[in-house]
């Protein structure tokens, strides 16, 4: 059943107010077509300010013109930039939302983690796959801790990764544990080694400077 024009006008009045409707009625009485078009464009600009949330929708300018056409009772005769439709406002059905039909196997990780695991299984380069496993381990450990206050071991995380990937993703557990690879705030072992080497070099420099200072002091004492 097609809704009446009066009913549609009442709906739009809640968005734009009675004053806008009065302006629409005034434009309809203007005899010159070019003047009606000019006034209609000015009114469209005003309606856009009164209904700013409409800017977030697709083709909002065309919707504004359709709203104006509805408020005129489908009588507006102007050079509009879009084809005007009196029924577009009510008959434009929203797109059907898709709801996930498959419940994730591990609710504390969520469906997106399963999708990421699937993407990781498609990687062919071994280094990229290993980096993906480490990133997944960090993410899954963080998600688990936010879901459950209890601590979780790297062994459990790695087992979950294997299970979700159906055995396609694996990494040496001792390598993970020794380098804290599943800890989001942990630094790679290589950086730790570099820092130790740098500290050792600094200590050697300090020792050398200390020996030089001792020599200089002994010479002055002589």
HEC secondary structure over the chain: CCCCHHHHHHHHHHHHCHHHHHHHHHHHHCCCHHHHHHHHHHHHHHHHHHCHHHHHCCCHHHHHHHHHHHHCCCCCCCCCCCCCCCCHHHHCCCCCCCCCCCCCCCCCCCHHHHHHHHHHHCCCCHHHHHHHHHHHHHHHHHHHHHHCCCCCCHHHHHHHHHHHCCCCCCCCHHHHHHHCCCCCCCCCHHHHHHHHHHHHHHHHHHHHHHHHHHHHHHHHHC
Least confident of 15-24, 161-170, 176-185, 204-213: 204-213
In a domain, 106, yes or no: no
Residue 186 structure tokens: 């942990």
pTM above 0.75, yes or no: no
Tell whether 118 and 171 lie within a shared domain: yes
Tell whether 57 and 135 lie within a shared domain: no
CB 138 within 8 A of CB 158: no
pLDDT band at 190 (very low <50, low <70, confident <90, very high): very low
Tell whether 75 and 130 lie within a shared domain: no
Q: Give the tens place of pLDDT for each residue, 204-216.
A: 655 555 555 545 5
Number of domains the chain is built from:
2
Tell whether 85 and 140 lie within a shared domain: no
Tell whether 21 and 56 lie within a shared domain: yes
Res. 124: pLDDT tops 60: yes
- Residues 124-131, mean pLDDT to the nearest whole number: 92
Domain residues for the domain of 27 are: 5-91
Tell whether 84 and 28 lie within a shared domain: yes
Tell whether 9 and 87 lie within a shared domain: yes
CB 113 within 8 A of CB 140: yes
- Residues 95-124, mean pLDDT to the nearest whole number: 82
Q: Distance between CA atoms of 112 and 205, rounded to whole angstroms? A: 51
Count of CA atoms in the C-beta half-sphere (13 A) of 199: 6
Tell whether 85 and 133 lie within a shared domain: no
Q: How far is CA 82 from the centre of its chain?
A: 33
Q: Distance between CA atoms of 16 and 52, rounded to whole angstroms? A: 11
Residue 32 structure tokens: 């010159």
Tell whether 123 and 50 lie within a shared domain: no
Residue 53 structure tokens: 């949330």
Tell whether 86 and 33 lie within a shared domain: yes
Q: Give the tens place of pLDDT for each residue, 31-90.
A: 999 999 999 999 999 998 888 887 777 788 888 898 888 888 888 899 989 888 776 555
């Amino acid at each position: 059943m097609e809704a009446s024009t009066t009913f549609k006008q009442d709906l739009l009045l809640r968005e734009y107010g009675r004053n806008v409707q009065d302006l629409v009625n005034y434009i309809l009485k203007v005899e010159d077509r070019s003047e009606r078009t000019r006034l209609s464009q000015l009114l469209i600009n005003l309606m856009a300010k009164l209904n700013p949330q409409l800017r977030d929708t697709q083709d909002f300018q065309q919707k504004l013109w359709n709203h104006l056409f509805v408020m005129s009772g489908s009588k507006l005769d102007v050079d509009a930039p879009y084809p005007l439709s009196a029924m577009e406002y009510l008959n434009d059905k929203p797109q059907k939302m898709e709801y996930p039909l498959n419940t994730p196997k591990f609710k504390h990780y969520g469906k997106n983690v399963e999708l990421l695991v699937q993407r990781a299984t498609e990687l062919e380069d071994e280094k990229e796959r290993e980096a993906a496993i480490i990133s997944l381990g960090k993410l899954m450990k963080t998600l688990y801790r936010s879901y459950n206050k209890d601590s979780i071991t790297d062994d459990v995380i790695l087992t979950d990764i294997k299970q979700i990937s159906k055995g396609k993703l694996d990494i040496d557990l001792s390598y993970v544990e020794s380098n804290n690879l599943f800890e989001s705030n942990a630094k790679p072992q290589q950086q730790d080694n570099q820092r130790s080497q740098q500290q050792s070099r600094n200590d050697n420099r300090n020792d050398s400077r200390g020996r030089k200072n001792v020599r200089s002091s002994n010479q002055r004492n002589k």
